[in-house]
Amino acid sequence: MAGANLKSNNEGPTVWKSSYDPNDPNAPKLPTKGEIKAIIPKECFQRSALHSFYYVFRDSAMAAALVYATMQLISTEVPSNLLSIEGLKWFAGWNFYAFWQGCILTGHWVLAHECGHGAFSSSQTLNDIVGFVLHQALLVPYFAWQFTHAKHHRRTNHLTDGESHVPPTASEHGLGPNQERSSFYSVWHEAMGDDAFAVFQVFTHLFIGWPMYLLGFASRRRLTAYGEESDSVMDHFRPCEYHLTVDMPLYKFCF
The DSSP secondary structure of 169-195, one letter per residue, reads PTTTTTB-TTS-B-SHHHHHHHHH-HH
Report how far residue 71's alpha carbon sits from residue 58's, in angstroms, rounded to the nearest whole number.
20
What digits encode the pLDDT tens for the residues 44-64?
A: 889 999 999 999 999 999 999
Lowest mean per-residue pLDDT among 18-32, 70-84, 115-129: 18-32
Lowest mean per-residue pLDDT among 6-15, 92-101, 153-162, 172-181: 6-15
Strands 12-18 and 4-9 come out as: antiparallel
Q: Where are the domains of the chain?
A: 49-138, 156-254
The structure's pTM equals: 0.68
What digits encode the pLDDT tens for the residues 164-198?
A: 667 777 777 666 777 666 666 677 777 888 888 88
Lowest mean per-residue pLDDT among 22-36, 68-82, 103-117, 118-132: 22-36
Residue 115 CB burial class (10 angstroms; 0-12, 13-18, ≥19): buried
What's the one-letter identity of residue 55? Y
Report how far residue 115's alpha carbon sits from residue 126's, in angstroms, rounded to the nearest whole number.
8
Report how far residue 153's alpha carbon sits from residue 254's, in angstroms, rounded to the nearest whole number.
27
Report how far residue 96's alpha carbon sits from residue 98's, in angstroms, rounded to the nearest whole number.
6
Backbone angles phi, psi at 66, to 5 degrees: -70, -40
Q: How confident is the model at residue 36 (pLDDT cuts 50, 70, 90)?
A: very high
Residues near 49 by beta carbon (within 8 Å), at least 6 away in sequence: 120, 121, 122, 123, 126
Quick one: residue 165, left, alpha or beta (phi over 0 = left, psi -120 to 50 = alpha)? left
How high is the mean pLDDT of the chain? 79
